[in-house]
Structure 1
Amino acid sequence: MLLMPDQNWQWKYNASYDVLSISLGPDMEFLTPYKNKVLIPDALGSSEFDVEHARYYMDIVERLGKRMSLADAYLVQLALNATAARFMLKPQMPKSWFFESSDVCVFSEPGKLFDLRCNGNRVQVLVVETSLQASLVMSLEESCALSDSKNLKRFDTIKVMHDRLHPLRAQQQIVAA
């Protein structure tokens, strides 16, 4: 069952778990993976899940629902984490050096899916926010080692230049004649 935003939704900082959460009503709270150190100051209190947040959340749900076959619960989890990343995380500088360049020019927009290539591995990412030269992306993979000391885990965000975004491989269908 997809969750639809309503006026009871509210951003809250959950001090017990040291993460940003979204109160979805009196008996339901969604915990994001985003800790205090990556959050903007406004996220450390309580604030409204406003119309702009709801619109973004619904747009991500719609876009991902068309592109991927996902269970509703996972789709909601992706969309809520993307919304939190878009509106509640501190700005980041690009860290493109971890990833291989692409020879294909891409058009990046929120809700689009791409691959990043790192150390011979592909990491599927969701574009959360985009600017003229770079995009903030959220990892959809369990884990990816960026270096000996840095890992990118599921729902972690990283900003990369557009030339690092690789289009998803289209499934090729070979028909013998």
Structure 2
Amino acid sequence: MLLMPKRDWQWGYNETHGVLSVSLGDDMEFLSAYKLKTLIPDAKEPMEFSVEHAKFYIDLVDRLSKSLALNDALIVQIALNATAAHFLLKPQMPKSWFFNVSHQCVYSEVGKLFQLTTSEHTVLAMVIESGLQASLVMIMSVECRLTDTKKLKQFETIKVMHDRLAPLPIQKQVNAA
């Protein structure tokens, strides 16, 4: 069953785990993938899960439910991490140099899935914030190795220019992640 936002949902910082969390009421807490150094200063203090946050989350859950063959728990996990990243992460500068240029023109929009290709592999990414020339994407694959010493884990974010976003092959759109 998909979790839908309630009035008692609240953002907070979980000191024990060192990450942003969402209190879902009834002694349930969702731990995001985001550590303090990546968060805006306000994220350290308790904050309501606002109507704007709820709308973003619900729209994303709806889009993911229609486009991916995933269980409800994973859809909720993806949508909550994406909502946290969209609203509570510090702004980033593009770091497109890690990825190859795509030779196909794409239209970037929130919730859309793309491939990013490094010199070694291809990963699945979802747009969580789209700008005129670049998008903030969340890594959907288990990890994305950028260099020998730098890698992104699932749900971490990176901003890339739109020319790095490659469309998914048709079969991946159904069985992603």
- Residue 37 of structure 1 pairs with residue 37 of structure 2: yes
Q: Percent identity?
A: 61
Q: CA deviation at 1:19?
A: 0.5
Q: Could you report, residue by residue, the CA deviation over 1:41-75 in whole angstroms, capped at 9, with x for unpaired residues?
A: 01001001000000000011011111101100000
Give 1:97's aligned residue: 97
Cα distance in 1, alignment partners of residues 47 and 143 from structure 2: 31
The runs of at least 4 consecutive aligned structure 1 residues that moved more than 4 Å come to none
* Structure 1 unaligned blocks of 5 or more: 172-177
What is the number of equivalent residue pairs in this alignment?
172
Q: Distance in 2 between matches of 1:118 and 1:36?
A: 28
Partner of 2:109: 109
TM-score, normalization: structure 1?
0.95
Structure 1 match to 2:175: none
Structure (1 or 2) with the larger CA radius of gyration: 1
Alignment of 1:1-20 (within 5 A): 1-20=1-20
Q: Is 2:33 the partner of 1:24? A: no
* 1:151 aligned partner: 151
The 3-state SS of whatever aligns with 1:25 is: coil
Amino acid at match of 1:65: S
Q: CA deviation at 1:26?
A: 3.2
Which residue number in structure 2 is paired with residue 49 of structure 1?
A: 49
Give 2:72's aligned residue.
72
Separation in 2 of the partners of 1:112 and 1:55? 17
Shift of 1:22: 0.2
| Structure 1 residue 120, shift from structure 2 partner | 3.4
Q: CA RMSD in A?
A: 1.1
State whether structure 2 residue 68 is matched by structure 1 residue 58: no
TM-score normalised by length of structure 2: 0.95
Unaligned runs of 5+ in 2: 172-177
Following the alignment from structure 2 to structure 1, what is the Cα–Cα distance between the partners of residues 94 and 170? 27
SS of the aligned residue for 1:55 comes to helix
Cα distance in 2, alignment partners of residues 110 and 137 from structure 1: 9
2:121 alignment partner AA: N
